Amino acid sequence: REAHLTIDPAFRVAPVRRRTFGTFVEHLGRCVYTGIYEPGHPSADADGFRRDVLDLTRELGVSTVRYPGGNFVSGYRWEDGVGPREQRPRRLDLAWHSTETNEIGVDEFVAWCRKAGVEPMMAVNLGTRGIAEAVDLLEYCNHPSGTALSDQRVANGAKEPHGIRMWCLGNEMDGFWQTGHKTAREYGRLANETARAMRMVDPDLELVACGSSGSSMPTFGAWEAEVLEHTYDVVDFVSCHAYYEEKDGDLGSFLACSTDMEYFIRSVVATADHVGAKLKSRKRIDISFDEWNIWYLSRHQAAEPPRDWPVAPPLLEDHYHLADAVAFGGLLITLLRNSDRVTAASLAQLVNVIAPIMTEPGGRAWRQTTFHPFAQASRHASGEVLRVEPVSPSYETAEYGEVPMLHAVATRAEDGGVTVFAVNRSTDGPLSLEIDARALGGVRVTGATTLTDADVYARNTADQPDRVAPRANPDVEHDPLRVLLPPVSWNVIHLG
Ligand code: AHR
């Protein structure tokens, strides 16, 4: 089978946004405790942060990290997590039926971000709380000093303001599962008033209004329209959240799940622009795709929540296989292809909880299969995103109808080097990909890797951490430029 794409620097979409490579740390399961933080661990630093996880976070190429939730934030009292540790209360976390010890709070999180070299992105609680607590948290974090709350931060050891720019106005407020779930009108009004008050403290913040928790939500579309009618002037982003899983053994549909993400993005852009037109506004609202991933949600929903309110129980610990990584790579390609309007994104989550990094308490840390597409895209996507006009054989799926086997995008770095990111969704054969790069003038394939495996359900484990990892792709020709993409594979091709 043959596929074809064209690289032309004139097919420019937008700059590559570093914030596309954000992730998410929620107080959920073992993401914080025994994930980023484990004081007794052999690799722990003086602050109790696991150095092995810090190293892997840097290797992953993470730009921003959203915190502290997620569903958790909708019941969170941020004050519980600051000040002397021995005085911090233990609380019931209703979202995950766990006990929160509050050993980690905003000051420690920001300290961890500095070590990891990432930008913190905060969410405020608009479930059980409101305007006052959001403004208090902002003042605590960002005001230099000289007020009760900023001085409290200084007294707690953070002399410099945290300088957090990006703030989420609540989390998934359209979801019935959310503590303090609201209608679009209730949420839109509250988000507007909260944003206005936060901007009185600091007009330069970047604020995210909650969009839909998925494109299959009954309120999808109507929710964004109503929320944005209330908030258009005071927010910069509307959020999208999407999770995908293989259902009933339908691998073909699963590998094409980025089709839904494309539809999701197009619909939200159209809705936001429609509201802008109605309001006669020239302002443009972008998308923060601040939760996306493969998540075997149906397994999680079938499991009983923990009954005895444990501390940091293993929750949502999906172990990803090759097919998951390929579907995941397709989602990354879609985010990049839409860089004109998706200007921020957060992979949910970073460690242990539906995560690219796994750890054993007290033990090893390793890269899941999904680590690799993320790390490669973050490392090699720079400069500008280019459309590639793919021409590809297609196949029939139960969920999305006919879909192309090839899904691809390219980026062009400042030095002119081009990288193609490509997924072969076909389960039964390779794709011979011909690249028309005449517009670049006499380039060659300077390197090509592929992430694939004879067993599409092969996983990495602590004992076999590199079973699924990118390997050099030997099937490359230079005249014409041609690369053979194995079935069910994620591929990175460098031209120069
Ligand atoms: O990422 C896991 C959960 O998924 C988050 O807490 C929530 O926002 C979403 O439903």
Query: What digits encode the pLDDT tens for the residues 300-326?
Result: 888 888 889 999 999 999 999 999 999
* Catalytic center residues: 172, 291
pLDDT of residue 333: 98
Q: What percent of the chain has a predicted confidence (pLDDT) above 70?
A: 100
If you average pLDDT over residues 325-335, what whole number do you get? 98
pLDDT of residue 321: 98
pLDDT of residue 305: 83
Instruction: Check whether 442 has a pLDDT greater than 90.
Output: no
The pLDDT confidence band at residue 14, using thresholds 50, 70 and 90, is very high
pLDDT of residue 204: 95
- Whether ipTM > 0.95 holds is yes
The contacts of residue 243 (CB under 8 Å, 6+ apart) are 214, 291, 292, 293, 294, 295, 297, 348, 354
pLDDT of residue 122: 98
Ligand 1 pocket, mutate which of 245, 291, 301 (most atoms under 8 A from CB): 291
| Ligand 1 neighbourhood includes 290 CB (under 6 angstroms) | no
Amino acid at 444: R
Across the chain, mean pLDDT equals 97
Mind listing the pLDDT tens digit for each residue in 222-262? 999 999 999 999 999 999 999 999 999 999 999 999 999 99
pLDDT of residue 476: 97
Protein residue with its CA nearest to atom 5 in ligand 1:
70
Domains of the chain: 3-8+387-495 (2.60.40.1180), 17-380 (3.20.20.80)
CB-neighbour burial class of residue 401 (10 A; exposed 0-12, middle 13-18, buried 19+): exposed
The token pair at 355 is: 């995560």
Amino acid at 453: D
Give distance in angstroms: CA of 1 to centre of ligand 1.
Answer: 39
What is the rounded distance in angstroms from the CA atom of residue 349 to the CA atom of residue 289? 13
What is the rounded distance in angstroms from the CA atom of residue 166 to the CA atom of residue 155? 24
Instruction: Check: CB of residue 373 under 8 Å from CB of residue 49.
Output: no
Mind listing the pLDDT tens digit for each residue in 64-75? 999 999 999 999
What is the rounded distance in angstroms from the CA atom of residue 71 to the CA atom of residue 176? 11
HEC letters along 138-171: HHHHHCCCCCHHHHHHHHCCCCCCCCCCEEEECC
